[in-house]
Amino acid sequence: MAREHPKLVTVEARTTRRRAPVYLDIMRNASGETIAPPFAVRWKPRAPVSMPLDWDEVSPRLDPVLFNIKTAERRMRAKSPWSSFFGHRQTLPRV
């Protein structure tokens, strides 16, 4: 993904060397690895909260600071962008 879309995706672990907005953590792509689940408070200034987003909310102007411990409850009560997730089932062919 990073090779095909270098302006969008990076696998560079060092934040100071990243040029693309989306970091693909290839070290977390294994059984038993952990990630920040939706609505988890992060250990950072202003207590940001990981949030599921709808694609129309994602833009270069997206400010993660807006999703924080003070705004999380309102967001959780709103319709989740994942509400139709299980309505889009897919079948993977045998390899």
Find the mean pLDDT for residues 47-73: 88
State in Å, rounded, how far the first CA of the chain is from the last one. 21
Domain limits at 66? Answer: 37-81
Which is nearest to 53 in space by CA: 22, 9, 91?
A: 22
Percent of the chain whose predicted confidence (pLDDT) is above 90: 17
Number of folded domains that form the chain: 2
**Whether pLDDT at 29 is above 70:** no
43 shares its domain with 73: yes
Structure tokens at 26: 């290839």
Q: What is the pLDDT of residues 5-27, one digit of tens each?
A: 999 899 998 989 998 888 888 77
What separation in angstroms does the CA of 28 have from each of 15, 31, 49, 92? 16, 8, 20, 22
pLDDT confidence bin for 70, thresholds 50/70/90: very high
The residue-averaged pLDDT of 70-83 equals: 82
The percentage of the chain sitting over the pLDDT mark of 70, rounded to a whole number, equals 97
- E strands along 1-95, which residues? 9-10, 22-23
Instruction: Specify the pLDDT at position 6.
Output: 92
pTM equals 0.51
Looking at the domain assignment, is residue 88 inside a domain?
no
Q: Does residue 76 sit in the same domain as residue 42?
A: yes
